[in-house]
RNA sequence: GUGGGUAUGGCGCAGUCGGUUAGCGCGCCAGAUUGUGGAUCUGGAGAUCCUCGGUUCGAGUCCGAGUACCCCCC
C-alpha cells in the first residue's frame, strides 16, 4: 500500500514523498496530462523521462470510449501500453460530467452520457468508474464525482455535493472488491476522494470533514478554476485544506498557471495537474521565467535564439531557434507541436523541482516571493 | 490584327434595378484557453473596385477607348 511521508513543512506548505507500487512520487508534483494514454503533441514515455516527469495522468471516460478499457486490459494495462512504468493517476470521468454538460443526464445511480465520438449511450456510475479504472490498472484512481458549475445556485450545489459524497462511499466499497479479485492488474490500486462545493466555503468544509473519516489514500479539491477568480480559489483552498487529513496527500485538480501552483503549494497542496503546458504548447504559447512567449508572433520570424537562454529542456539545450520552431508551427509540422509541448512540460516539471528544493532548504517563502515577482515582471524580449 | 470571356485587399470570390461607411472565405496580425476535441472563440490590419474619359444628383455597377490575362479558331 501507499505511504505518505512528510519530509518537511514550511507554514502550510508540504514537502512530501508518496510511495506507491509503481515508484516514489516526490511532492509537490505536477502530473503530466495524457488523457488518452498519450501526451498530445507526440511525446513518448522516454521523452517524459527525459524531462523528469513523475506521474502521467490519463482519463477514464476517454479511454472507456476509445479504445475501451477492456481493450487496454487485453493489451496489458495502462502502464504496459505506452511503456511507462512509473505512477499513473486516472481521472474518474467526473470532469466530463462538467465539460460534456450538453451530452449527459445526472441521476442518483450515476451519469448517462451520449458519447462525444459517435453519440452512443454510455452509463458511468461510481461502480462503473472503479471497474474501468481497475481494468486500466492505474496507480491512483479518482473517485467518481460531479464537478458543478462555479455559478451554480447554493441549493443545487448542496444537492450535488451530498450525492458526490454518497458516490464516494460506493467507490470505496467497489474499489475494495475489485482489488480483491483474481486477475486484477493492480491489486494495490489507490483511491483518492474529491471535495466539492463550488465557492461555498461552509459546504466544502462540511464535506471535507465527512470524507476525511473515510480513510482514503489521498484527497483532492475539485471544481476550482472553472470560472471563479483566482482570489476566490485561493480562499477556498485556505479554508478547506485544514479539514482534510494531514497525513495524506492533497491534490488540487486541474490547476493551473505557474502562479496558481506556487500559491497552491503555499496553501498545502501536494499534487497538481493542468492541460495548460500541453495545450498552450500546441498553440505556441511557451512558458519562460520571463513570462509567456507567443512563438507564432511575427517578431520571431528570423530570431535565432532558443526559446529561453539557459533552459535545460531538450529543445533549448539542442539550440533549436525560435524562428525554426515558429516555421514548424505555421507549416503544421508535427515536430513543432512536439518541441513546444516538451519545452512547456519541462518548464512545469522543473518549476516543481525548484519548489521542492526551496522547501528542502527551508526557504520557500523567499522563493515564492521572488518567483512570483519574476513571473509578473515578464519581459522575455530582454533575455 | 478573328470571335468569346475576365479584371474588386496577399490568394479565391460575392456585390441585386445605378443609391448609406464595398462584403465573404482562406491567409496575415494579435488575444483568450485551468481533472484536453491538435478543437474553438474573440478582436485587428489590409482596397486608387485595371487605366483614362463620358452619362448621372450619385458609378464597383451604365457607355466609349485603351491595357493585361484566359479560352476558342488557325
Separation of A296 CA and B20 C1' (Å): 39
φ, ψ dihedrals at A31, nearest 5°: -90, 135
List the nucleotides on chain B closer than 7 A to a protein CB: 28-40
pLDDT confidence band for A371 (50 / 70 / 90): very high
pLDDT computed for residue A201 by the predictor = 97
Q: Which of A69, A217, A270, A273 is catalytic?
A: A273
Q: For residue range A221-279, what is the model confidence (pLDDT) as tens digits? A: 999 999 899 999 999 999 999 999 999 999 999 999 999 999 999 999 999 999 999 99
Separation of A320 CA and B45 C1' (Å): 31
Q: Which fold has domain A3-274?
A: TIM Barrel (3.20.20)
- Asked if A156 and A143 touch (Cβ cutoff 8 Å), the reply is no
The C-alpha cell that represents A294 in the structure block: 507567443
Euclidean distance between CA atoms A199 and A257, whole angstroms: 19
Separation of A228 CA and B31 C1' (Å): 20
Q: For residue range A109-138, what is the model confidence (pLDDT) as tens digits? A: 999 999 988 888 999 999 999 999 999 999
Euclidean distance between CA atoms A292 and A290, whole angstroms: 7
**ipTM surpasses cut 0.95:** no
pLDDT of A169 higher than 60: yes
Domain boundaries, chain A: 3-274, 284-382
pLDDT computed for residue A377 by the predictor = 72
**Catalytic status, residue A270:** no
**Catalytic status, residue A273:** yes
3-state secondary structure of A253: coil
pLDDT confidence band for A380 (50 / 70 / 90): low
Euclidean distance between CA atoms A120 and A66, whole angstroms: 12
pLDDT of A382 higher than 50: no
Euclidean distance between CA atoms A294 and A304, whole angstroms: 15
Encode A179-215 in three state secondary structure.
HCCCCCCCCCCEEEEEECCCCCHHHHHHHHHHHHCCC
One-character DSSP codes across A131-148? HHHHHHT-SEEEPP----
Lowest mean pLDDT among A28-37, A271-280, A291-300: A291-300
Q: Which of A69, A91, A217, A350 is catalytic?
A: A91
The C-alpha cell that represents A40 in the structure block: 498530445
pLDDT computed for residue A379 by the predictor = 56
What is the pTM assigned to this prediction?
0.94
pLDDT of A63 higher than 60: yes
Q: Give the mean model confidence (pLDDT) for residues A353-359.
A: 98
Amino acid at each position: 500500500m501507499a505511504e505518505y511521508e512528510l519530509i518537511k513543512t514550511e507554514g502550510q506548505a508540504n514537502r512530501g514523498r508518496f510511495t506507491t507500487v509503481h515508484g516514489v512520487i516526490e511532492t509537490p508534483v505536477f502530473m503530466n496530462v495524457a488523457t488518452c494514454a498519450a501526451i498530445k503533441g507526440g511525446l513518448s514515455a522516454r521523452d517524459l523521462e527525459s524531462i523528469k516527469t513523475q506521474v502521467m495522468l490519463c482519463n477514464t471516460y476517454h479511454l472507456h470510449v476509445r479504445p475501451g478499457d477492456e481493450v487496454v486490459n487485453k493489451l496489458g494495462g495502462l502502464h504496459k501500453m505506452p511503456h511507462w512504468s512509473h505512477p499513473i493517476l486516472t481521472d474518474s470521468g467526473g470532469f466530463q460530467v462538467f465539460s460534456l454538460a450538453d451530452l449527459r443526464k445526472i441521476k442518483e445511480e450515476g451519469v448517462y452520457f451520449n458519447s462525444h465520438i459517435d453519440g452512443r449511450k454510455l452509463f458511468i456510475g461510481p461502480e462503473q468508474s472503479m471497474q474501468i479504472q481497475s481494468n486500466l490498472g492505474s496507480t491512483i484512481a479518482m473517485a467518481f464525482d460531479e464537478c458543478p458549475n462555479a455559478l451554480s445556485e447554493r441549493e443545487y450545489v448542496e444537492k450535488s455535493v451530498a450525492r458526490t459524497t454518497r458516490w464516494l462511499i460506493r467507490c470505496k466499497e467497489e474499489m475494495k472488491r475489485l482489488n480483491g479479485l483474481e486477475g486484477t492488474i493492480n491489486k494495490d490500486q489507490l483511491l483518492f476522494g474529491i471535495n466539492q462545493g463550488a465557492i461555498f466555503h461552509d459546504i466544502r468544509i462540511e464535506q471535507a470533514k465527512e470524507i476525511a473519516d473515510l480513510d482514503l489514500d489521498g484527497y483532492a479539491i475539485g471544481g476550482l478554476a472553472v470560472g471563479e477568480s483566482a482570489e476566490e480559489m485561493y480562499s477556498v483552498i485556505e479554508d478547506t485544506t485544514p479539514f482534510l487529513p494531514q497525513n495524506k496527500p492533497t491534490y488540487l485538480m486541474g490547476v493551473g498557471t505557474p502562479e496558481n501552483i506556487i500559491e497552491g503549494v503555499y496553501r498545502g497542496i501536494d499534487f497538481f495537474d493542468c492541460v495548460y503546458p500541453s495545450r498552450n504548447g500546441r498553440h505556441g504559447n511557451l512558458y519562460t521565467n520571463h513570462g509567456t512567449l507567443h512563438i507564432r508572433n511575427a517578431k520571431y520570424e528570423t530570431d535565432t535564439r532558443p526559446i529561453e537562454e539557459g533552459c535545460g529542456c531538450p529543445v533549448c539545450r539542442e539550440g533549436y531557434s525560435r524562428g525554426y520552431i515558429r516555421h514548424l508551427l505555421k507549416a503544421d509540422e508535427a515536430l513543432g507541436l512536439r518541441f513546444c509541448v516538451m519545452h512547456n512540460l519541462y518548464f512545469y516539471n522543473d518549476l516543481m523541482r525548484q519548489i521542492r528544493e526551496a522547501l528542502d532548504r527551508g526557504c520557500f517563502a523567499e522563493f515564492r516571493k521572488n518567483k512570483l515577482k519574476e513571473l509578473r515582471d515578464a519581459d522575455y524580449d530582454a533575455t
